[in-house]
C-alpha cells in the first residue's frame, strides 16, 4: 500500500531516487496526485522546515531535500494539469528580488497551469523591472512569491515600479508565501493574497472574472 509517510521522510532525508520510486509506486496504486503532493511531498518539506528553524539541520540538507521534492513534483505535474483547457489568461509569476525560494512558487505555477492559465515563469530573484516588462508584454496577472521577511518589502517596491511604468491598472497583482498575510496584501495595495497553491489558482480566476 502506498506509504505517504515514507515519501515525506524521503523528502526530509533528501533521498531523490527513493522519492521518485515511491511517487511512481503511489501513482501506480492509484493515489491521486494532490494527495501525494500535500500528504507526502509538502508534508516532508514542512517538517524539514521546522528542523531548519530549530537549527537541527542546515542549508545543505535543505538544498538536497529541495532537489528530492522537485523530482517528486515533476512526476505528478502532468497529472495536475487539466487537459485541453483554453487559456484563461496569462500569469507572470516569480519569486521577488533577493529571494531564491522557488518550490512554493513552482507549485503555484503548476496549479495555475492546471487551472487553465498560460504561465510565464520568471524564476526566482526577479527584479521589479522584469515584472514590469512582463506586464508590458501582456500579462493579465503579476504573481509574486516571497519566503523571507527581508524580501517581502520587494513586493511593495514592485507594485510601485508597476505604477511608475504606468502599467499598474492593466494588471492584477496577487501575492503569497509563508510570511505573507492578507493584512500585508491590503497594506501594499495588492489585489489578492492566498495561502496555498490551490487557493492561488482560485484567486487568479476570481481576479480576472
Ligand atoms: Co530558506 N528559509 N533560507 N531555504 N527555507 C525559510 C523560508 C525559513 C522560514 C526557514 C526557517 O527559519 N524556519 C527562513 C525564513 C525566515 C524568515 O524570513 N522569517 C529561511 C531562511 C532564513 C533562509 C536563508 C536566509 C538561510 C541562510 O542562508 N542562512 C536562505 C535565504 C536564501 C535567499 O533566498 N536569498 C535560505 C535558503 C534556502 C534554500 C536555498 C536552502 C532552500 C530553498 C530551495 C528552493 O526553493 N529551491 C530553502 C528552503 C527549502 C526553506 C524551507 C525549509 C522550505 C520552503 C519551502 O519550499 N516550503 C523554509 C521553511 C518553511 O517554509 N517551513 C525556509 C514548501 C513550499 C511548498 O511551501 O514555499 O511556503 P511555501 O509555498 C506555499 C505557500 O507559501 C504558498 O503556496 C505554496 C504551496 O502551497 N505560496 C503562494 C507561495 N508563493 C505563493 C504565491 C502566491 C500564492 C501562494 O501568489 C502569487
The whole-number pLDDT of residue 88 equals: 85
- Beta carbons of 135 and 169 less than 8 angstroms apart: no
Domains and CATH numbers, the chain: 4-83 (1.10.1240.10), 90-208 (3.40.50.280)
Whole-prediction pTM value? 0.86
Band (pLDDT 50/70/90 cuts) for residue 97 is very high
Is residue 208 within 8 A of residue 118, CB to CB? The reply is no
Residue 81: what pLDDT? Answer: 67
- Determine if ligand 1 sits within 6 Å of the CB of residue 123: no
Name the residue with the closest Cα to ligand 1, atom 64: 49
How far is the centre of ligand 1, averaged over its atoms, from the C-alpha of 183 (Å)? 20
pLDDT tens readout for residues 28-52: 999 988 899 889 998 888 888 788 8
Q: What mean pLDDT comes out for the span 105-115? A: 82
Going from the Cα of 199 to the center of ligand 1, the distance in angstroms, rounded, reads 18
Q: Which atom of ligand 1 is nearest to the CA of 59?
A: 41
Torsion angle defined by CA atoms of residues 124, 127, 129 and 133, in that order, rounded to the nearest 10 degrees: 0
Interval 187-205: pLDDT, tens: 999 999 999 887 898 899 9
Amino acid at each position: 500500500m502506498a506509504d505517504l509517510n515514507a515519501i515525506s521522510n524521503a523528502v526530509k532525508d533528501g533521498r531523490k531516487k527513493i522519492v521518485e520510486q515511491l511517487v511512481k509506486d503511489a501513482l501506480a496504486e492509484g493515489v491521486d496526485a494532490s494527495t501525494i503532493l500535500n500528504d507526502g511531498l509538502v508534508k516532508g518539506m514542512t517538517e524539514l522546515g521546522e528542523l531548519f528553524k530549530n537549527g537541527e539541520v542546515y542549508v545543505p540538507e535543505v538544498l538536497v531535500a529541495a532537489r528530492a521534492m522537485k523530482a517528486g513534483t515533476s512526476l505528478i505535474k502532468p497529472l495536475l494539469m487539466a487537459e485541453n483547457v483554453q487559456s484563461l489568461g496569462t500569469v507572470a509569476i516569480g519569486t521577488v528580488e533577493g529571494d531564491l525560494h522557488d518550490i512554493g512558487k513552482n507549485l503555484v505555477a503548476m496549479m495555475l497551469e492546471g487551472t487553465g492559465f498560460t504561465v510565464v515563469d520568471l524564476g526566482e530573484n526577479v527584479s521589479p523591472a522584469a515584472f514590469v516588462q512582463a506586464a508590458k508584454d501582456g500579462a493579465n496577472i503579476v504573481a509574486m512569491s516571497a519566503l523571507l521577511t527581508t524580501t517581502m518589502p520587494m513586493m511593495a517596491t514592485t507594485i510601485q515600479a508597476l505604477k511608475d511604468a504606468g502599467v499598474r491598472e492593466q494588471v492584477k497583482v496577487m501575492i503569497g508565501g509563508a510570511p505573507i498575510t492578507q493584512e500585508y496584501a491590503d497594506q501594499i495595495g495588492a489585489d489578492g493574497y492566498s495561502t496555498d497553491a490551490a487557493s492561488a489558482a482560485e484567486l487568479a480566476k476570481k481576479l480576472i472574472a
